[in-house]
Structure 1
Amino acid sequence: MPDPGLSPLQSSLPAAAARFGAHVLAEALAHGRGAAEDAPAAAALPLPPTLPFGRGPGAEAVPADVPVPDGGPTPAMERILRGPSGLGTVALSLARRAEPPAPRVLEAPEPPELPEPAVGRPIPGLYHHPVPEPDPLRVEEVSRRIKAWALDEVELYPEDWEDQFDGFSVGRYMVACHPDAPSIEHLMIATRLMVAENAVDDCYCEDHGGSPIGLGGRLLLAHTALDHLHTTKEYHPQWEESLHADAPRRAYRSAMEYFVRQSTPSQADRYRHDMARLHMGYLAEAAWAQTDHVPEVWEYLAMRQFNNFRPCPTITDTVGGYELPADLHAQPAMQRVLALAGNATTIVNDLYSYTKELATPGKHLNLPVVIAEREDLSDREAYLKAVEVHNDLMRDFESEAAALAAACPAPSVLRFLRGVAVWVDGNHYWHQTNTYRYSLPDFW
């Protein structure tokens, strides 16, 4: 499906994305003073060429307001603020333009009557960054399109699951996490993949008929919807038919087809790799469930590094309409940033879903439960310790992202790091405000 360009419901929110993630890049200022003097460190990560991929017509650059320390910016930080120069690079500038272009006049329909957003209650003591309410016009349009896709294109759920689908609020989730997406269709890339991933989790692993028994076989066949089977002509039709056999496979197949049309081959392969990591994490948790094993805390955290949200922030450049080059994405420093982001956001899920999971039959492993059992703590003590584990991961994520931004101030690196930070904040926002799904324990 070709990119339709800017939706009629496009707003000025992408320009406001500069206010998000600044807490990460601002830390780079402290590191930038040394980065200018530390040529070998910066040289380890070469600057990429300017890449025009994926920028839809009318898409605007995402400016950044980065504070400058006393004494003025260092040469390294001037480079970050100034951005690239030369033909075709204005769209990647991270500084505000002196004369911004006049906005297009778009005839948007009257905004629908929307309910007041659910504020929710943040977990006391949890380190997080509040975000503004996501653009309601985008939320409404993404919600409409994803429901039509789920019902009409992939027949994802029966009628009696409709309330749960609506309660997931995936449109609000994805708009909050990707405010710099240049069009509604770019947002839909992330939204379809998110819904497909949750369908696999629910139907294969958990709430809606999931079971650890036989999970490996189901995941393997579903994964071929993402990473196609290359077989003989005799058996290829049977595999192709299998991709329509159940809702999770239909969702994976369709979401991936849309994704590869908007992504580069390296971005698609990156996503397949992270989904393989996710499926390996599912299998580890299933194996523990079958043997009634409660892992050590460090073992649980190892499992959660794979069974986590990492596939979502790793596509932030595709959704943003640009590409972080493969060699820069593969750098160990970038991989560490992504791992920490995935780990922190997944512990957010453990904490907000704690009471929901305790209400389900059987033992559901999450970080507070594992800490309580393995470290002989009360439920309250274990939960509060899990909050501190999250906070440590968040601070490490921000510190490592700031160090990488200072060491490699390439425009695509800076924008990608900002996008990951925005995703982390948007993920917390969705968990906090989704009172349909989550409620907090009475520990304060």
Structure 2
Amino acid sequence: MSLSHTIIADLRGAPPGDLGRLLPTGLGTSAARAFLKPFHAADDELFCPGALREDVALGDFVNEQVVAWADQVGIYSGRLEKLRACGFGRFMMLAHPGALDADRLVAAAKCLVAEWAADDYYVDEVELGADPMQVGSRLANLHAVTDPAQLPRRYAADMDDHHRLQPISVAFRTAMEHLSRYASITQMGRFQHQMATLFLAWTQEADWHANRRTPPVWEYLVQRHLNNYLPPMILVDVLAGYEVPAQEFYQPLVRQAFTTAGNAAVLINDLYSGAQESENDFNLPTVLVANEGLTRHEAVLRTVEIHNELMHTFVGLATQLSATGSPMLRRFLADTWAWLGGSRQWHATSGRYHSAPSSPTSPSSPTSPSSSTSPSSARS
């Protein structure tokens, strides 16, 4: 059974079929060697690697640390069991197989959960106080935490008092403090840039909700380019303990490759989260149905096709860059490839999208996501 049919079967509660996985030969393998012989799936199957690591104990440890932190800072109050079921600690364990330090994974998981919580509390989840008319102001104020604002003394105290009462602000401040133990000044700046981009994307989504407008497909894909998975992916080299030189990281082809990978990864989210969303939420299949008159089945297949096009573009760029780039860049591209596989694995098995997490020993068999156990019914 192809993956697209598996996802459709999931939506109907039918048992899924086996999914092929691409496993590079090892963490020490050069990116060029890993990308030159990609797995070629049929047109209606996802072209994506599988996870390189499944360490249940490590994932559980990171997850418990993050749930305890969430309780401490005050996010997801009353929903901590649902947060635990999401397995965000496992997400980071899967996505960063080159990271052997559990505390680095905890720092990254805190940042990830802070991002998800901001989306839930400010953008998507009405039960948590989300209001499209306030998204812009809330995110602008939050940006003053992620990239600290310098106010005149008489007003700085007012701003600090405001953020002390906002669990999302406390979550971001403490998560970034933890991350700063491992990220260089340059790497922290890259993370801050991606957060600003993400906040901009959420204001665009709020505009759609406030004006009750379904965007055309191209505009939705622009929003997903901004609201992709680069905020957590930007920590790939931080967690593995190295740093891609700035002259390579910001090279246009490198940026194109990295953003393309992030865009492809977020479409995996669109496929697996669809059953959890309200009628007012947006995902690529929904937008395709509204704009192009496709059936839900056809829209899922089209989404898989678009995902695969992006992935093939990334593979082509990564192969080219790996042949000429520094060892750090080659490692970064290989770690990005591994991140994509870990992310796919998490989406296929997480309690956020499924009634119960799938067994780690059966990574290609997601269960039916018909009953959400996530802290939010939102898209992310």
1:421 corresponds to:
337
Q: 1: CA distance between counterparts of 2:85 and 2:130?
A: 20
1:172 to 80, 83, 90: 90
| 2:123–2:131 CA contact under 8 A, matched in 1 | yes
Whole-Å separation in 1 of the counterparts to 2:29 and 2:304: 23
Q: How does 1:169-248 map to 2 (within 5 A)?
A: 169-207=87-125, 208-248=128-168
**CA deviation string 1:356-383 (max 9, x = no partner):** 11xx2x4211100111111111121111
Aligned to 1:129: 49
- The CA deviation at 1:346 is 0.6
- Report the counterpart of residue 33 of structure 2 in structure 1: 26
The alpha carbon displacement at 1:209 in A equals: 2.5
**Superposed counterparts of 1:246-285, under 5 Å:** 246-285=166-205
Q: 2:347 is matched with which residue: 424, 431, 442?
A: 431
Q: Deviations over 1:234-253 (max 9, x none)?
A: 12222222222221111111
With over 3 angstroms needed to count, the CA separation of the structure-2 counterparts of 1:181 and 1:137, relative to structure 1, is same
Say which SS state the counterpart of residue 136 (structure 2) adopts.
helix
* 1:211 Cα deviation from its structure 2 partner: 2.0
Distance in 2 between residues matched to 1:406 and 1:415, nearest whole Å: 12
Q: Is residue 401–residue 417 contact of structure 1 (8 Å, CA) maintained in 2? A: yes
In the other structure, the counterpart of 1:367 is 284
Q: Which has the larger radius of gyration?
A: 1
Report how far residue 25 of structure 1 moved.
2.8
Partner Cα distance (2:98, 2:369) in 1: 31
Question: Percent identity over the alignment?
Answer: 32
Tell me the CA shift for residue 133 of structure 1.
5.0
d(CA) in 2 for partners of 1:21 and 1:278?
A: 32
Q: Distance in 2 between matches of 1:215 and 1:350?
A: 22
Deviation, 1:436, is 4.9
Contact 1:17 1:179 (C-alpha < 8 Å) held by counterparts: no
Matched, 1:325 2:245: yes
Partner of 2:323: 406
The answer on whether the counterparts of 1:20 and 1:131 sit within 8 Å (CA) in structure 2 is no
Local SS of the residue matching 1:217: helix
How many corresponding residue pairs? 329
| 1:76-109, Cα deviation, whole Å (9 max, x unpaired) | xxxxxxxxxxxxxxxxxxxxxxxxxxxxxxxxxx
Report whether the alignment pairs 1:385 with 2:302. yes
Measure how far apart 1:300 and its partner are: 0.8
Which residues of structure 2 form unaligned runs of 5+? 1-22, 355-367, 371-380
Structure-1-length-normalised TM-score = 0.70
- The two structures have a TM-score, normalised by structure 2, of 0.81
The aligned amino acid for 1:429 is Q
Describe the shift of the 1:25–1:210 C-alpha distance in structure 2 as closer, same or farther (beyond 3 A). Answer: farther
Aligned: 1:395 with 2:315: no
Give, as a single letter, the amino acid of the residue that structure 1 aligns with 2:85. G
The residue that corresponds to 1:43 in the other structure is none
Q: Which structure's residues are more often helix, by fraction?
A: 2
**Secondary structure in 1 aligned to 2:247?**
helix
One-letter amino acid of the counterpart of residue 194, structure 2? D
Which stretches in structure 1 are left out of the alignment for 5+ residues? Answer: 1-15, 31-65, 67-122
- Partner residue in 2 for 1:353: 273
Q: 1:300 aligns with which of 210, 220, 229?
A: 220
C-alpha deviations, 1:182-206, integer Å up to 9, x for none? 3111111211100100110010011
Structure 2 distance, partners of 1:430, 1:214, is 32
The answer for the alignment partner of 2:8 in structure 1 is: none
Please give the alpha-carbon distance, in whole angstroms, between the structure 1 residues aligned to 2:351 and 2:306.
Answer: 24
C-alpha deviation, 1:261, in angstroms:
2.6
SS at match of 1:288: helix
Q: Which one-letter code corresponds to 2:310 in the other structure?
A: L
**Corresponding residue SS for 2:230:** coil
Give, in whole Å, the separation in 2 of the partners of 1:261 and 1:273.
19
Q: Could you tell me how far 1:29 is from its partner in structure 2?
A: 5.8
Give the superposition deviation at 1:167. Answer: 1.4
CA contact (8 A) 1:192 1:255 kept: yes
**3-state DSSP class of the match of 1:303?**
helix
Q: Identify which range, 337-346 or 372-381, moves more after superposition.
A: 372-381
Q: Deviations over 1:115-174 (max 9, x none)?
A: xxxxxxxx972222222552122112212211221112x12221x202211111011110
Decide whether the 8 Å contact of 2:30 with 2:330 is kept in 1: no
How far has the Cα of 1:435 moved from its partner? 4.7
8 A Cα contact 1:178 1:320, kept in partner: yes
2:206 aligned with 1:286, yes or no?
yes
The answer to whether the Cα contact below 8 Å between 1:199 and 1:247 also exists between their aligned partners in 2 is no
- 4+ residue runs of structure 1 moved beyond 4 angstroms? 20-24, 27-30
Letter in 1 for 2:76: Y
Q: Secondary structure at the match of 1:235?
A: helix
Instruction: Quote the Cα distance in structure 2 between the aligned partners of 1:21 and 1:285.
Output: 40
RMSD, matched Cα: 2.3
2:76 counterpart (152, 157, 161)? 157
Output the CA distance in 2 between the equivalents of 1:24 and 1:395: 14
Q: 1:132 to 1:324 in 2, by over 3 A?
A: closer
Letter in 2 for 1:156: I
Following superposition, the deviation at residue 416 of structure 1 comes to: 0.9
- Which residue does 1:51 correspond to in 2? none
